[in-house]
Structure 1
Amino acid sequence: MVTQTNLPHRFGGFMNLDDTRRFEELDPGQMLNEIDQLPDQLETAWELGRHFPLGEISGVQQVILAGMGGSAIGADLLAAYALPMASVPVIVWRDYDLPAFAAKPGTLVVVSSHSGNTEESLSALEAARDCGAQVLAITTGGRLAQAAGAKGAPVWQFEHPGQPRAAVGFAYGLLLAVFTRLGLIPDPEDEFIGTLAVMRSQQEGIRANVPVVNNPAKRMAGQFMGRWPTILGADILEPVARRWRTQIAELAKAVAQFEALPEADHNMVAGVMNPEQLLGSTMVVFLRGTTCHPRNQRRADATRQVMMLEGFNTDAIEAVGETRMAQQWSALHFGDYTAYYLAMAYEVDPTPVEAIEDLKRRLAT
């Protein structure tokens, strides 16, 4: 029987998620510290972005946010927040080159790469130069900083020695500053300050020193053990569902998927009958927020009922806070802690991503 403190792991024994000494052994790269400091990182990024140079960027009529992985998730989060009020179209580009419409006058291409050496991002930078688009680079350095600087584009260079996925506060906060200073969205400073307060308040109940019996993020990790998690979100929480999936993959080295509402109700909800023997090994979590569209809130409840009746394990997370940004970031932070505790439960180091590095080596040959 699983106790409130101990969770079964893959070797048939138990992992004590209240054993923080074991956390230190499994986490030499201090990923937990990165998660703990996320509100501070987000605040630092906003402050940096208020003072970094914008160069001669002007007359923006559309924005393309080019990046991959940890850099792109910040763009997803920003786009979800900004689109309901942005004065120009915004797209997130995860690929080589750029779409043909980038050549239109007034295009701003923001190229983000944590390392500065992401090949897809460098390709997007080159395409932006060739089509005459305005460019802004966000990076810690590398070839992107060099190439963008050589072209006279502003380079917003920040310091972060950790993994790209742990720099999501920089990836979002700097973009938020870009959009604000260019007048593409109303000034969100009050909402931003409130968001930091909500994150820090929620954090007190889900830190590693909070025991399982009182820690909902640890208990959620327990529900994911030995199961295939599926995370659903809508509106402001759609990219948060993606973030949960990527964090589960990269921290816990575990399989997961994400789906978006209302789209999932037009296809995914039909695939709930087979294979019957696997349905009990699923865990479907609905990210809910009071700032989401009322119809999407109803869809989350109705979709959960359908899946429960078909034998799926389900749960729901209520995003904390009163504003769209606060609910987005509180739900994201909860998911980061959950993925970390899942890594601890599986007894894997949450920092290295050898599968990704191996793939890069294969592509380099």
Structure 2
Amino acid sequence: MLDDQNQIRLIDRSDMLGIISNFSHLVESGYESANSLEADFGYCEGGLVFLGLGGSAIGGDIIRDWIGPQIPNGVRIERGFELSAPIASDSLVICCSYSGNTRETISMLEQVLGSKHRNVLLISSDGKLKEIAKRKKLRFVQLESGMPPRTTLPAVVSAISVISDSIGWTKKASSEILAAADACDVFIRKNLGRDVPETKNIAKQLAHQLHGFIPVAIAPNCMTSVARRWKTQMNENAKQHCFFGIFPEISHNEIVPWQRDARSDALVALLLKGAGLNEELEQGFLRLENLLRGSARTISISPVGKSKIEILLNHVLIADFTSTYSAILSRVDPTPVEEIERFKHENE
């Protein structure tokens, strides 16, 4: 079925496959939008505080895993109505909402602005965030309109890489992601795209392997972003449950039910590997993999890449395409998320 282009077009009516295949364009779009800013952020020794939820927040997670260690005081992600702690005056606050109308994100932004913090960057396609940027004369990165928020991750990450270079946290992050984007396009064409037959298509094969099971994405703590991406993409694209766990934390709790709970038969452990692991973490993750293989259904996913960002983005692409093919396999249009939209409107 996943090689039948007519069937795919009938089910994927909003062309999610087309959107996620246009990866390098989105990276370049974010790069150009951020590069057009004429703003001096200073060095921002307080680090980065990223405000956002859902598909608009995942870009902050990727940034934290990729260049977080190079940013003074690191990257802090806020997903809520209220800030978890005060924000240092010398930090950069990035507020991201694709629609520009996310209530929680706007609530946090109001707290930031109420504290007179001015080193703020807004990222959106439209909505209230764009209005606030104009009214308050705040820096603003314009995203392309008319897309599902979760598909704009490449643009958001690319835009922040430009800002990071301009601040001086990094020197070549933006050039790294542009190079990675070209490599990711090759990865799509050879391994993931709709025209790649199932016998050679990693994502189509994974969709079949996961069909009828609940995936649990497990990653080392330096790759938390891609484990979360698996969860959210399976939730939104495939309309299926998916959970994630982070090593070494799960070795202190979750390994018990993996070996003892009979309901583990309904689960598949997706072991995500391959980006920035030190020797201790790599050896520990290998021990975990061997342990789970003795008691549970497991699948290892290890994309290659010339840089950490390329490996992280290839992981993202595998999750994006697999979740989309999983939806098609279940005869579900991957794009609409009526439940989320209805919940938002009911709470306005």
**Which residue type is aligned with residue 252 of structure 1?**
A
Note if 1:45 corresponds to 2:33: no
Q: Normalization by structure 2: what TM-score? A: 0.94
Matches within 5 A, 1:99-110: 99-102=84-87, 104-110=88-94
Q: CA deviation at 1:298?
A: 2.0
C-alpha distance after superposition, 1:85-144 (max 9, x if no partner): 223432011112324321x32132111100000001111111111112121111111011
> Which residue of 1 is the match for residue 17 of structure 2?
32
> Which residue of 2 is the match for residue 212 of structure 1?
198
Change (3 A) 1:169 1:46: same
**Is the Cα contact below 8 Å between 2:98 and 2:125 reproduced in 1?**
yes
Matches within 5 A, 1:117-128: 117-128=101-112
> Which residue of 1 is the match for residue 184 of structure 2?
199
**Is the Cα contact below 8 Å between 1:236 and 1:328 reproduced in 2?**
no
**Is the Cα contact below 8 Å between 2:98 and 2:149 reproduced in 1?**
yes
> Which residue of 2 is the match for residue 76 of structure 1?
61
> Which residue of 2 is the match for residue 4 of structure 1?
none
| Paired residues, number | 345
C-alpha distance after superposition, 1:35-88 (max 9, x if no partner): 10022211221222122233x533522221101111100011011111122234
Q: CA deviation at 1:189?
A: 3.9
> Which residue of 2 is the match for residue 232 of structure 1?
218
Task: Give the stretch that moved more between structures: 86-95 or 124-133.
Answer: 86-95
The 2-side partners of 1:184 and 1:290 are apart by 20
The 1-side partners of 2:243 and 2:306 are apart by 28
Identity of aligned residues (%): 26
Flag structure 2 segments of 5+ consecutive residues without an equivalent: none
The 2-side partners of 1:193 and 1:105 are apart by 31
**Runs (4+) of structure 1 moved beyond 4 Å?**
none
RMSD: 1.6
**Is the Cα contact below 8 Å between 1:236 and 1:324 reproduced in 2?**
no
**Is the Cα contact below 8 Å between 2:218 and 2:270 reproduced in 1?**
yes
Q: CA deviation at 1:319?
A: 2.0
**Is the Cα contact below 8 Å between 2:43 and 2:168 reproduced in 1?**
no
Change (3 A) 1:114 1:254: same
The secondary structure found in structure 2 opposite 1:214 is coil
**Is the Cα contact below 8 Å between 1:160 and 1:167 reproduced in 2?**
no
Q: CA deviation at 1:247?
A: 0.5
**Is the Cα contact below 8 Å between 1:125 and 1:148 reproduced in 2?**
no
> Which residue of 1 is the match for residue 274 of structure 2?
289
Identify the match of residue 163 of structure 1 among 102, 127, 148. 148
**Is the Cα contact below 8 Å between 2:269 and 2:297 reproduced in 1?**
yes
The 2-side partners of 1:221 and 1:53 are apart by 44
> Which residue of 2 is the match for residue 132 of structure 1?
116
Flag structure 1 segments of 5+ consecutive residues without an equivalent: 1-15
Identify the match of residue 303 of structure 1 among 277, 288, 295. 288
